[in-house]
Structure 1
Amino acid sequence: MTLGEVLGLAGPASPYHQGEVGLEATYYFQSSQECYPCGAHAVHVAVDPETGKIDILKYVIAEDVGHVINPLLLTGQAIGAAAQGVGATLLEELVYDDDGQLLSGTFMDYLLPTSREVPAFDLAILDLAPSPVNPLGVKGAGEIGIVATGAALSNAVSNALGVQVRALPLSPNNIRELIEGNELISGKC
């Protein structure tokens, strides 16, 4: 019998049903240990020192998330998280005036990434170290894609321009200020 046939015979509409609950399976799992994924991001950028515009030429992500239950869903989560991280790193900023009034309170002023800012990510999902703390060997996966984007992009810009990035977002205006500040300090850029 298939599982569907067994469930049909155990259900309330079945002539074999005699008022019992039918089939029931309950399983609880709890671990006192945390289970973290790991990964790495590598980015190649081009930065126009005149305009401060950043072009992402290549973005590679490798994530070890243990056993993968649904590869398509995981790929969407990882790429979506990285796209959100690119937006947070390059565009998104809460801007206030001198009186504390929010100036970027609408989507006309608060920039979100579009297909022009988000690159085609090269993604490698790995199962190198399944989790020992759960029966499936899985680890968290959806959030890891956003964690490293700020650091990876900041380091790529630092390397491209020979400056030290210490704040986000990496908007064109902020990049120009960074370049101009570095020129005053070191006489190079």
Structure 2
Amino acid sequence: MTLLLRDHPGDRTLGYTLRGLRAAPEGFGGPYDGGWAADRVLLGSLLKAAREMLGDGRWVVTAEDRAAISTLGLDQAPAYDYPSAPAPGDPGHPSLLQRAHHVAHMSGVLRAAAARVPRDERGFRPPMEMVMTGATAVGMEAVATELDALWTGTELSCQDWEDEHVPDALRQAIASAEDNFDTLAAFFRELTASG
């Protein structure tokens, strides 16, 4: 722990350090505690398997699949409406806090949609459920809530607040989750264009 604390400037808090540890690329938080780097690999392998199942006919995209895709909102630009925008004149719009909330929201939407996808006749998870679940950012809801509490009542500029509370690993985790959503959206565009 001493080594990890030495990697950060002296004014970093324990909370900052813990957020960095939780968001480490190979750290905790992924579906198999492999971190967001493992999440990216997992999503890639799930998409590869789904494409193979499409190619050999084991998966036929249904009207229900297309309806689920259209309700997700991945084909629309993100609405960074919560929390309210940083004070006028602050750089970095949307803020990292807004982006974290968007990632948390979309992760919840994907999990809810995946839970509604019925199992196949043998009880197996269908490809649609697997790819939606594979794109979620596990644990981002807790991080967004924690950051939200730190943001409330702050008098810092957006940039100063981000520098004080958002470690690089968390910035990378948010960006990685956004990339996963973009990758999933591109896959879904392929599915809807082919039908």
Q: TM-score range by the shorter chain?
A: under 0.3
The two structures have a TM-score, normalised by structure 2, of 0.24
Q: Which has the higher helix share?
A: 2
The two structures have a TM-score, normalised by structure 1, of 0.25
Structure with max Cα Rg: 1
Q: Which has the higher strand share?
A: 1
